[in-house]
Every structure is written in structure tokens, then in C-alpha cells.
Structure 1
Amino acid sequence: MGHRALVAYRRPDRLYDLRYSHWGGEDVSIGDRISAETSLASGAVDADLLADSVARDHILTDFLDPCIHELLYLVAPGTDYDVAAYRVCWLEWGDGRDDGRGAIVAVDSDDADRRVRTWFRATKTTLADLVEMGALSRRAAQAYLESRVCEDEDGTVYTYAGAEADLPDAEYTPTPDRWLEDDWWRDVTDDWETTETDDDWKPDDDQAGGPP
């Protein structure tokens, strides 16, 4: 079965090349193994590309299936390969409806990742029990789960486009996606080597290459 992860490598043109790791979602240790010398974590990341030249705003909505992937890694090649890890949280209950709603939560260590996984599993299980008992509607439970992920864990909620055809017309309006917010993106990239914005970037400004 594996523990699947999506690994996104930033290119000099600020687009991303996407690769797959079959066991990279078990914990965040693979991030420590990605470096300039071992850009594919010594074989833990597949060499074959899943997709290339992907804009960052499409990574979540077009490629990060919350039903399949457990972790997302964003890799910024350079003198030091800066790797940011995000635990993927599936905001559904496996009943065949609305499979594409998910969230990512930044985790900077195995301990942080374990805490987020434990917290999310406990919260989601409790809500499922309340729905089963009739104490809470499914839509109310999902809205509450999304709000907790955003407020308690500073998570980013999104809808995976691959499941859009399965989403029914409903009164429920999910929490807006925040992947495109400039302030949020600056927070994500504060520790990356480059400090220029996308608008400032020119092809000659960044010669750092991606993985072989």
C-alpha cells in the first residue's frame, strides 16, 4: 500500500517539477535526505516526473489528491536544498461524496508531524461518531473540522480538482482556499534562500537548477 508523498521541486522559472515517493508519507524524514548531492533522497523519490512546469497554485488543486497523498514536500534547490513538509489531511469520511476536500498543515519535524496526525485523527473520529449518533449533520461536522484545521493548526484548505465532477450541488459553502494568498506564500518562503517576489524575478536572476 505504501505511504505516498508528492515532492515538488522549484525550477529557476518558478514553476515546479513533480515527483512521487511511495514511502515518503510515512514521516517527514525524507526531507532531511533531500540535498544537492542526493536530490532524490537516495532513491526514495522516483526519478520519473509526474508532471513538469506546474504553477504553484495548481499543485494542490490539480495534483495533491487528499485521498491518496499523505505528505507534500516543497523543495527549493540552491546551495542548501530547503525542504518544507506539509501533512495532508483528508476532510471527508469515505462515504463516496465530496472526496476532493483536503488541507495541508506545515510540519517541521517528526514530532510535529506525529502530533498533527494524532490530533487530526482524534478530532475527525469524534466528529464521525457525532454524525453517526445524529447529534451533528455531516456538513456541520465538515465545516467544523475545516475551521479547526485552519484556526488550530494554521492549515490550508483546498479542493482537489480531480474530484470536482463528484461534488454535488449543495447548500454547504466550504472554507475558501488560501493557497493563492500573497501573505500566506510569503510566510511559507520566509526561510528560502531567495527573497525576490515572482513579479521581480527574471530568468538571469536565479540560475539554481532542479534535481537531475
Structure 2
Amino acid sequence: MYQRLEPAEAMNVGHRALVAYQRADGRLSIHHSQWGALGWQLLTTCRPNSPFGGNNDWEAPVHEAIVDGEEPDPPNVPDTPVDPHPRTVVADLDGLTGQFDFLEYEACYVVSRSVDVRGFQPLWFARALPDADPVGDGALVSLRRDRDPVEDAARLTAWFRGVADTMVAMQEQGALTDDAVQTHLRERCREWEADGREVYVG
């Protein structure tokens, strides 16, 4: 089951990111990064010899244990951008979106077993649906590798705001119900697949 941060921890200043490490069994080990969303830094700081972004000797064997589905043994207070202690495990990327906290996290990363890192921009449906659940009611859209990640994420966000605001206006005119808005948002987000992106909708 997905574990949210405790309220006191959630109030800490930061640019929080959720980091999902792919395991050999196909599942994902879920980790927290307090500042990982800042400038999409984990796209470059997480590497095969430094999977948690800290350039420590212990990182590679800890990551290997996580990939193998074993209990990792990192330091109790690790000095790494990504906390190597797993918070939970989810079945796959589709399952990750359904349990992603769009209110808590500003960015999502998926790290392959060979530490190939992909960035995903979260798009929370609450902009058009005030009753949207922070956990699950949104989409994760991958960033393009051939573009600046900050600019690409901003582009996705600006596009989504335009779509959501249009839906709000149509809803206020009585042209759309909440269910229709949610369906339309899901369909519009999936259109990004035609741009060579991965899209996962909660």
C-alpha cells in the first residue's frame, strides 16, 4: 500500500520527487527525494556507479540488492539526493500512476536496472476537478530526451493548464459533467504518445 509522508515531513521546504527503481521481477521500488525535482537534477546525477546520486561506494551494491528484490543495507542517514531506503513496492508503471501523490511530488523518475533514468512530468487533474484525489487522479507524461528537461516540463504544464481551463469554462456553461471532464483529460493526455512519449494515466 502506498505510504504518504507524515504531515510534519510534508511541510518541509523542498522540491520533492518520487523515484521508482525497476526490479528484476518487474516491480518498482519506490523512493523519496527531497530536492530531486529541482532542475530535474536526477537525470544527470543518478548514474550506474551512483544510482542514488551521491557518488558513494555503497550505492551500487545497495541498488543491486533492490534490483534483486532483497533487503538493502544502506547507511541509516545517507547523504544522497535519493533516499536509498524503499518506501513501498508497486506492481508496474500503470500501478505507479494510480498511487502517485500529485499534491506531494513535483516530479517522477523511473530508473532502469542499468540506471537509465527517465523523467516524468506529473499533471494533476485538480486544476479542472476540485474534488480530484491527490493520489491517482492525474497523468505522468515522460520528458523528451532530446530536449531541455526544464523547458519540456514547462511546456507540458502550460499545455495542461490550457486544456484544464478550457474544461472548466465548458463545465461552467453546463456543457460538461465532472465525469466527462475527467474522461476528456485522460484522452488529451494520452495524445502525447504521438509525440514519442510514455503516458500513464491514473
Query: Could you tell me the TM-score, scaled by structure 1's length?
Result: 0.62
In structure 1, the residue matched to 2:168 is: 128
Please give the residue correspondences for 1:50-69 in structure 2 after superposition, counting only pairs within 5 Å. 50-52=87-89, 54-56=90-92, 57-61=94-98, 63-69=99-105
TM-align CA RMSD = 2.5
Is the Cα–Cα contact under 8 Å of residues 27 and 113 in structure 1 kept in the other structure?
Answer: no
Q: 1:102 aligns with which of 138, 145, 148?
A: 138
2:125–2:132 Cα contact (<8 Å) kept: no
Contact 1:3–1:26 (Cα < 8 Å) also in 2: yes
Whether 1:87 aligns to 2:121 is yes
Counterpart pick for 2:19 among 7, 27, 35:
7
- Residue of structure 2 equivalent to 1:140: 180
Instruction: Give SS of 2:171's match.
Output: helix
Give the stretch that moved more between structures: 7-16 or 125-134: 125-134
1:4 and 1:69 in contact (8 A); partners too = yes
Gapped runs of 5+ residues in structure 2? 1-12, 55-79
Quote the Cα distance in structure 2 between the aligned partners of 1:69 and 1:23.
10
CA gap of 1:107–1:134, structure 2 versus 1, over 3 A, is: same
Query: Structure 1's 72 and 97: CA in aligned 2 closer, same or farther, altered over 3 A?
Result: closer
For residues 11 and 144 of structure 1, the distance between their equivalents in structure 2, rounded to whole angstroms, comes to: 33
Deviations 1:92-145 (A, max 9, x none): 346335553211111034132221111112221232233335443333222222
Which residue number corresponds to residue 107 of structure 2? 71
Alpha-carbon distance, 1:7 to partner: 0.6
For 2:28 and 2:185, the matched residues in 1 are separated by: 30
The number of equivalent residue pairs is: 154
The normalised TM-score by structure 2 is 0.64
User: What residue in structure 2 maps to residue 115 of structure 1?
Assistant: 155
Q: Structure 2: which amino acid aligns with 1:11? A: R
User: Tell me, what secondary structure is at the counterpart of 1:41?
Assistant: coil
Match of 2:30 in 1: 18
Q: Are positions 1:48 and 2:89 aligned together?
A: no
